Structures are given as structure tokens and as C-alpha cells.
A and B are shown apart, each in its own frame.
Chain A
């Protein structure tokens, strides 16, 4: 049992913390959000220069071979800064699909470019008429000679608008499959939307899009299994990001309790608020523990891995809502203004619960499996 970072991990943590502290002051973030594309290519290059974009990729693909703990470290720091660059979309989510399912050629054509910061990717899975958190996509992929033809519509694609290439889930005759779709192809239409949490989103329509044979990731029918794994890795990362956002929220709130005065005393002297701040801390610590569990579960056998990550997503969903709401409440009106960081952290925490299965969804998975024990 060891909860300490290794020396390298500590250096990594210091490095990302410094990146966030130097480059991601709240005012800077607001400017980036309002700017072109909604995120900063300059910051992205800086992340590439630090080597952070290559972290979870295998050394043979040009990466650093980092595991769950390394991703947790990065995501926690990015969560603290409410960083909106496409780390989760490109490196974690699309990266997981490439790591788990792509051929040597497919990886060689993309991973070095991702690591260099010149290739933005994301995953396009959600659809307008689909039951939430399911694999039941209506997008179709038909065989056409050596290649494929895709038709369908995808929504809420994170960072879809700025992406060079999207991984698209579609039904084939042999079951669901994943396809690598460059966004510039004819028949692909990507319309930008903006998430309430500041994440640039996209709606993507595919109208008879022609793809070559090597656009297929894995085999037809393997899409579900690949996506399940991708979602596990992404959820472990999301949970860590949430812990960062919660810690920032908690720190801002306790600072406010110390400095805001009403009735001639700091509002932190009111017991009603003091006790609620303690409850926020308890939720934060429980979530932190579960982020560690999720990060360390990625290499466990399937059943235990899934359950642990679900449990972490449950904890973070519940705690994130509580901490976000309480932080806003204890700030009073300033808490609901766009000019103040707490509201933005609250929104990101809200979005994290909605992504890839909310707390209730994951509770059902655990309940159906008769609990967390193996």
C-alpha cells in the first residue's frame, strides 16, 4: 500500500501545476474561451513542448508509456485550472481508441502528430435519438468496394469543431464499428456549438461519406468492446479532472469564508456555513480516494476494473454536485456570475456527471452486478 507519487510522478505533477499556474489564470481562461475556436493553439503547443501530449502513448509509438496514475496527475491539474484545451478529447479519449484498437500503420500515421500537437482528434458517438449511455447508434456504415460509406448524425462531440479527425461509431452488417473520419472529407459537415461548461462542441452530419478500407478501427462488431474500454479510461480521467475542479472550488470557498464579512464578521464564523464547508471537504476527500482507485484499476481484470471505475464515477457525480451547489450558495450572488471562477467550476462538474454515464447510471451497473466485490 503506497499513496505516494514516485519521483518522476512528483516532477510531472509539479510541471503541470506550474503550467496551469503560469498560463491559466482565470482571466486568461475567459479570454481564451471568448477567442477564435474557443481554445488556445498556443497552449496546446506548450503542452506538446512539455511532452504532456505523449504521456499515455507507448514508447514504441513515440510516447512515454505513462499509465493511469500519470493521467490522473495531469487531469487533476487541468481540472484545477478548468483547462479547456482538447487534452481529454484527443489524448485520453481518441488516444485510448488508438492505443487499444489501431493497427501499427494507423498508429504511426497519427500518434506522432498528436504528440507534436499538430493533430486534433475526438470521438463522435452520441446521437440525437439514442438512449443515453448506450451503444445503440443509428449511424450506418455500408461496404463500398474496398471502402465504406457513412451516413448519420452525431451530437455533443467534444472539441469536434477544431478537430482534424473524428472517431465515429456506426452500425455495419456485422455489428457496430469505429471509423477514422477526417473532418475535411466531402459529405462531412461539422457545426460548432458551445457547451455550458465552455467546452467547444460540435454537431456532425455524415452524408454518404466515402472512406477507404483502412479507416476502420479494429473489426466490424468490435466497436462496443473498444468503446467500453475507451469509456473506462476516459471516465478514470474525468474523475481525476473532477477532483481537481472540486479542490479548486473548495479552496475558493474557504478563502471566501475567511475574507467576506457581513454583520461585521467573516461569514466563516457562522456555524451553519462552517459545518457545510466541512461536509464539502469530506466529499472532496472521498472523491480523491476514488480517483486513485480508478487510476489504479485500469490494469485490473475487466469485471473489477469496470466496477471500480463505475464506483468512482458515482462518487464524483454525487460529490461534484454537492460541492458545486454548496460553493455557489456560500458565495451568494457572486457565485452565479460569469465573472467568477466558482460558477465555471460548478458547470464543469455538472458536465462531468453528464458525460459517459451519470451517477445513477453507474449505480445501476453496480447494483446489477451485486456490488463491488469480485
Chain B
């Protein structure tokens, strides 16, 4: 037993680290450090830098631009990315639709889409959730009716992240309601410029506009844009949601935040803005979360090592997701507590108040928005259901 990376892994880490240090544009790094909102163009720019290096889509099959990395290398890559303050890129492109097309798409679909997905030439959004279909995704009702070489779609999606930027949507639609609800679901690729699509923004509690409702009114989608077989969309969706295990707990992100929290705490204390008692309390809270984070990191590494051996602890991903999101959320509480009353104002005036300390006015929106991480990607209650079934057998 040992906890050390091999010499090759360390060399890989150095390579990744120096690449991130040199390649990440300064303005992007600054935005990330202060948790400011990234524009579409920011993410596209970074994705293309990664793509030029061959690292845009490391988890894809090698023949479509992926890297034959070990689980440990993937882990290192993710961690270094977070520690370097680099944006993660579009999960919809990289982790979801790319791998699905690579695995289930036709040759024509692969030729048409994969390279553009990797380079973020096309921005994708995910049209799964509906007003009546959240955790119970298979309850979705948006209908697709066959008409010649087209499907005609009517219905509504909701919570569609960044639909306002999207060129394409991958969506689950109902082509048959006669059987079990998991049957009769079909997986389609929709050009967002198709007539009949309306995108309406939803403002979230952080003040952001990343969520949308998307309405379909007789939207025509060519049958050639169907993934796999009609009625088997549920299988493809499950493969997609099973997704990536190595980075699910976002350890690197939380580590980076902990480093930042400690620096902020020190800085505030040096400037006389924390009483001794406040400082003690904060340091204890930071120690508590750091212990849990270290324990989770080692647990993640145990899973990474087991993966490398081909052992597959079925519920490990759920455990990592639950605890990882809880820790991420805990970090945002601590930033909020550090910001104190100065963090109340979050508009333009706030920047004047805090003399350019971006983190102060970003603290509250960050806290509010991060409540999402235990809701999406399979709510934590759903993850607990999965683990419970696995340990109890019913």
C-alpha cells in the first residue's frame, strides 16, 4: 500500500500543470478566482486552446480525439485544471453528447458533429427535464410524431441550461405512450434554429439567467437526427447519465476553494477585520471541512485505483457525488460567512464598496447558485436511493 503517484504520473502532473499555467489566459484566470460569471466566448476560447493541445475531450474514445489515460491520469488532469483556476468547459458537449454520439451515433452523425463538439463550434444544451418530469425523468411527455422523414415535436422542456447560447439540443421525446413509461422514449438531436422553438429565460436566485424554458410548437426534426433506434432513448440516456466517475466529487475544485478560503481568512485577520474569537471559530470550521475533504479525496483515489483494476463498486459514484456536493456547498457557506455584511450588496455599487475585492460581492451569489449541485445530476436523495438499493438488495 502506498499513496504516492508513480514517477510517470508525477511527470504527467507536471506536464499538465505547466500547460495550464502557460495556456490559461490571464483575464480568464482572474474571472475564475473571483467567481465572476463566464461569458460564452470565455468558455469557447478556453475549449479551443485545450483542443489545439489535444486535451479538449480526453475521456472520449481515442479515435475521436480522446486520450488513452489511466483513471489516475484523468484524476490528475481534473485536479490540476481546478487548481489552475481553469474553467471546466461545457459538460453538455464534453461529457454528455460527445460520448453518446461516439458510442451510439451513425457514421454520418459522427462525421457531422464530433469534431465540432470538441472544438465548441456547436454549443449543445440538454433537453431532458420537463415541468412534470424531474427525478422521475421517464414521465416526460413532449411528443414526437412521425411524419414522413421528419418527427414533429410538441411540448416543453425546462431548466435547460444555456439554451440561449445553444446551436443544438439533445432531447428525450415520447414517440409511444402505450407501454411502460421507460419505453417509447426517443433520443433526438435538434437544431435550435428550427422554426417553432421558443426559448424563455428563468432567473435563478443568484440573479443569473442560465436556466430556460424551451417550448416546441410543431418543430420538425429529420429522422436522420435520431440517435439509435426509435423507442430506445431511455437506454442511451442512462448511459449518458452514468457518465464520468473520476471527477464527480469535484475534489480539485474544493481543494482550490479551501486554499483561497485560508488566504482570505489570513488576509482579513491581518487587516484587523476578524476578532480573535471569530478567527478561532473560522479556523476550526476550515479544519473540519479539510478533514472531510481529505477523507473524500482518499476515498475517490480508492475508487480510481479500483477502476484501474477493473473492479467496479457500483454505488461508489453516488457516494462520491453526495459527499462531494455537500463539501462544495459547505465551502460556499464559509465564503459567505467570511464576506459578512459587506457581502450583502452584489450589484455594481458593491464593487465600489469593497474596493475591487471581487470575491466579496460574488460570495452570496456563489452560495445561492451552488445549492444546485445537490439537485441536478441526480438529486442527492436519488443518489441515496441508488446506494440503498445496492446495499440492501431491495
Contact = CB atoms under 8 A, between A and B. Distances in A.
B299 A289 contact: yes
Contacts of A23: none
Contact of B2 (A2, A286, A366): A2
Contact of B305 (A3, A282, A293): A3
Task: Name A's interface SS.
Answer: helix
A368 B287 CA distance: 9
Nearest to B284: A367
Interface stretch (B114-122, B133-141, B156-164, B383-391): B383-391
A69 B391 contact: no
A257 B392 contact: yes
Nearest to B391: A254
Interface string A353-374: 0000000000110111011100
Interface string A1-36: 111111001000000000000000000000000000
A289 B298 contact: yes
B191 interface: no
Interface string B71-89: 0100000000000000000
A274 B388 contact: yes
B326 to A, nearest CB: 9
Contact of A278 (B2, B295, B391): B391
Interface string B372-393: 0000000001001101100111
B189 to A, nearest CB: 36
B287 A367 contact: yes
Contacts of A311: 290-291, 294-295
A5 B1 CA distance: 6
Contacts of A364: 284
A278 B387 contact: yes
Contact of B295 (A9, A290, A295, A363): A290
B385 A1 contact: no
B391 A281 contact: yes
Contacts of B3: 1, 292-293, 296
A371 B293 CA distance: 12
Contacts, number: 124
B393 A282 contact: no
A315 interface: yes
B302 A3 contact: yes
A372 B290 contact: yes
A274 B385 contact: yes
Contacts of B302: 3, 289, 292
B290 A278 contact: no
Interface in B308-342: 309, 319, 322-323
Given A281-B319, A293-B3, A286 B387 contact: no
A287 interface: yes
A128 B136 CA distance: 60
Contacts of A371: 258, 262, 286-287, 290
Contacts of B291: 290, 311, 314-315, 363, 366, 372
6 smallest beta-carbon distances between A and B, as pairs? A289-B298, A274-B388, A286-B295, A367-B283, A366-B287, A367-B287
Given A1-B4, A4-B309, 16 more contacts: A1-B6, A1-B72, A6-B1, A274-B384, A278-B388, A281-B387, A285-B319, A286-B292, A286-B295, A287-B295, A289-B298, A293-B298, A311-B294, A315-B291, A371-B262, A372-B294
14 contacts: A1-B9, A2-B305, A257-B392, A258-B392, A269-B394, A275-B381, A277-B388, A278-B384, A279-B384, A281-B387, A282-B323, A289-B299, A293-B294, A370-B262
Interface of A: 1-6, 9, 69, 254, 257-258, 266, 268-269, 271, 274-275, 277-279, 281-282, 285-290, 292-293, 295-296, 311, 314-315, 363-364, 366-368, 370-372
Interface of B: 1-6, 9, 72, 258, 262, 280, 283-284, 286-288, 290-292, 294-296, 298-299, 301-302, 304-306, 309, 319, 322-323, 381, 384-385, 387-388, 391-394
